[in-house]
Amino acid sequence: MKRTFAVLLITAFLLLVLLPAALPTGVSAQSSGYTIDKVDHQIQIMYSGHVVILDTIHVSGQITDGFMIGLPYQYSADVLEGFAYDANHVYQLNLGVQLGEHSGFYGATVDFNGNTPSVFTVAFVLSNQLITEQGNGVDVLSFPAYPSLARDVGICNVTIAFPSTPISFTINKDDGATSDQIYTRTNLPAYTYAPATATFQVTSGTLTLVTITNLNRQITIDPSGKVTASDTYRIINNSTSPLSSFILTLPLEATNVNVMDQFGNLQGTVSSYPSQNMILANATLQTRLSTGETVVLTAEYNLPSAKLQGSNYVLADSNLFPNFGYYVNQATITFTPPQGATIVSPKTSELDSSSTLTRNTYQDTLAITKDGLSYVSYLEPQQSTLQLSFNYNPVWVSFLPTFWATILAVAICIGVFYVRTRKPKEETHSEKKEQLKATEQAQTLAAGAPKTSGAKTSQQASDNDITEFIDAYEDKKELNNELKSMDAKAQKGKIQRRQYKAQRSAIETRLEGIQRKIDRTKETFKGTTGGYGDLVKQLDLAEADLAESEEDIKSLESRQSTGEISIEEYKENIGDYQKQRDKAEATINGILLRLREKIR
d(CA 253, CA 468) in angstroms, rounded, equals 64
Sheet containing strand 278-289, strands side by side: 243-251, 278-289, 267-273
- The Cα–Cα gap between 5 and 9 comes to 6
Sheet architecture: strand order including 294-303: 264-265, 255-261, 294-303, 227-237, 210-221, 328-336, 364-373, 355-359
Residue 21 pLDDT? 44
Q: End-to-end CA distance of the chain, in Å?
A: 101
Contact 336, 221 (CB under 8 A): yes
Residues 6+ apart with CB under 8 A from 223: 338, 392, 394, 396, 397
pLDDT in the model for residue 122: 95
pLDDT for residue 384:
58
- Dihedral sign computed on CA atoms, order 561, 567, 570, 575: positive
What are the residues whose beta carbons fall under 8 Å from the beta carbon of 393, sequence distance 6 or more?
340
Specify the amino acid at residue 11. T
Query: According to the model, what pLDDT value does residue 400 have?
Result: 52
pLDDT at residue 10, rounded to an integer: 57
Amino acid at 318: S
Query: What is the pLDDT at residue 434?
Result: 52
What's the confidence (pLDDT) of residue 293?
A: 92
> What's the pLDDT at 599?
72
pLDDT score, position 422: 57
Residue 239 CB partners (closer than 8 Å, separation 6+): 133, 208, 209, 210, 291
CB 472 within 8 Å of CB 517 = yes
Paired strand residues for 366 = 335, 357
Radius of gyration (C-alpha) of the chain in whole angstroms: 37
Residues 6+ apart with CB under 8 A from 160: 42, 43, 44, 45, 143, 171, 181, 182, 198
Q: Side chain identity at 306, as an amino acid letter?
A: A
With CA atoms as reference, report the closest residue to 53 among 195, 166, 185: 195
CA 193 remoteness from chain centre: 39
d(CA 19, CA 92): 39
What pLDDT is recorded for position 394? Answer: 59
DSSP symbols for 1-58: -HHHHHHHHHHHHHHHHHHHHHS--HHHHHHTSEEEEEEEEEEEE-TTS-EEEEEEEE
pLDDT of residue 541: 86
pTM: 0.61
CB atoms within 10 A of CB 556: 18
Type of residue at 273: Y
Residues 282-307: b if buried by 16+ CB within 10 A, e if exposed: bbebeeebeeeeebbbbbbbebeebe
CB-based contacts of 414-417 (< 8 A; 24+ apart in sequence): none
DSSP letter (8 states) at residue 22: H
Q: Which of 318, 322, 332 is nearest to 389 (CA)?
A: 318
3-state secondary structure (DSSP) of residue 194: coil
User: Using CA of residue 20, residue 22, residue 23, residue 26, what is the dihedral sign?
Assistant: positive
Mean pLDDT in consecutive groups of 10 residues from the start of the chain, 600 residues: 53 49 37 83 94 95 86 94 90 90 92 90 95 92 95 95 93 93 95 95 89 92 87 92 89 88 74 81 86 91 83 72 85 86 78 80 83 82 68 57 65 69 49 47 42 46 79 83 78 73 81 84 76 79 85 81 77 80 82 76
Residue 108 has a pLDDT of 94
Domains and CATH numbers, the chain: 33-201 (2.60.40.3650), 210-396 (2.60.40.1730), 459-598 (no CATH)
Q: Checking DSSP bridges between strand 79-85 and strand 90-97, what pairing results, if any?
A: antiparallel
Is 524 in contact with 461 (CB distance < 8 Å)? yes
